[in-house]
Amino acid sequence: MRVTPFLLCLPFALAIAAPPAKADQSPEYVGPPVIIPGPPSPPISVRSGALAAPMEDTRLHLPDAEATCDGAPLAATYSDPLPAVQRRVGASYEDTVLAFSVAADGRTLDIRAVEGATAASDRLQASLAAWRFPPHARKDCRLIVRWRTVSVEQADTSDLLTYFAVTRDRGALRDAVAKRLGGPNSDCDDRFGGRRPAVMAYPDFEKGRRPPPGGRSWTVVRWNIDAEGRNTDIETLGSSGDVDLDAEARRTMADSRMRPGPARTGCVYNFYRTGETLEAPPMPPEDQRPDPLQQCPASVAERFKPQSNLVFPTAFRDRPIEGWALIRFDVAPWGQIGNAAVVEAQPAAAFGTQALQLVQSSRASGGFEAGVRCVVPVRYKMPAENAAPEADQN
């Protein structure tokens, strides 16, 4: 008996901004299959006790990037700074190369690491996904990231700001960077110098022009605290160029007040805001992705059940940038999933990596038929109304 080929298209949706659920709640299963993770996670925490080496043996690895298409340099019309990483003395990164293409509207697609993949690969992919180039379709593009190493003591202000405001990892290294940014007489060990707030103000993140979809702007403010709790000598130490956010950050610190206590010098803090949600590029319709070897009966669609709580790739969720992946797999009559592989992922390979893990950990209920080269789309969606940007909680 001939089995009619069937393209399995189960709707997966992933909502990633903070829903009403508490952060410690498990993702909620709401359909066949819909996964809703909890609120965005805070910046990665690397406490001093977890460092692989003492602070004096830790270095900043800072990225310098160049984009090319067909071997020729290509200047971006919009770009976000790339994150720095921390490494031990003696450790080094090879150049990291991300392959990508440019759509007719200038958006970056097909982003994937092809050389020198690092722990920062997802962050690099997310940053590149927000870049824009002149509107013209291009293939065979590369972002070549060359890493340079510097100690915290030798780093200049722009290097320190890259780690403090762009990478935003918590831990001993961030504390050391904050002390350098605070100045030679800085004694503000955290952003309030151990002082308890009496009045806290917050920026108006909707004021002025927000970054483009998927983009992010940031500002770092420095100030002193007198014995009566007033914030003085407030200044913008560095920023991405968002003058409205810079002004709001200074106003926020001027309107805030600490309780009386010892005077503090060189307090630093950073705020950031994101643009609107960058929607996923269109997924190719079924009739444009034929597979003559596919034998996937309709019953597989009813039998397939996800067995894993997939979460949105953090680096993309925090911007926010949506995406999708097409995952191909076989299913045995008794329900075991095998031969799973990524067919395509957009706008970056990180979405395919997460979706592949979901399918590999899933099963189907038992049945009479096997499925060969079934395909399931996994969609990563933000809520209908994206949560307003929040202050950096570092």
User: 343 falls in which pLDDT band (50, 70, 90)?
Assistant: very high
Distance CA 125, CA 106 (A): 16
Distance (Å) of CA 315 to CA 101, 176, 219? 20, 24, 19
Q: What is the pTM of this model?
A: 0.80
Distance CA 246, CA 254 (A): 13
Mean pLDDT to the nearest integer, 157-183: 89
Please report which helix (H) or strand (E) contains residue 252, including its range.
helix 243-255
Q: Are strands 304-305 and 363-364 parallel, antiparallel or unpaired?
A: antiparallel
CA atoms within 13 Å, Cβ hemisphere of 238: 15
Mean pLDDT to the nearest integer, 103-122: 85
CB atoms within 10 A of CB 383: 14
Most confident of 30-39, 61-70, 292-301, 307-316: 61-70
φ and ψ of 124, to 5 deg:
-65, -45
Residue 182 reports pLDDT greater than 80: yes
> 257: which strand partners?
199, 230
Burial class (CB in 10 A: 0-12, 13-18, 19+), 90: exposed
When mean pLDDT is compared across 10-24, 190-204, 254-268, 292-306, the lowest value belongs to 10-24
φ and ψ of 236, to 5 deg:
-85, 115
pLDDT value at residue 361: 86
pLDDT value at residue 12: 35
pLDDT value at residue 56: 61
Tell me the three state secondary structure of residue 383.
coil
pLDDT digits (tens, 9 = 90+) for 283-336: 998 888 888 888 888 888 888 887 766 678 999 999 999 999 999 999 999 888
Distance CA 158, CA 367 (A): 61
pLDDT value at residue 142: 96
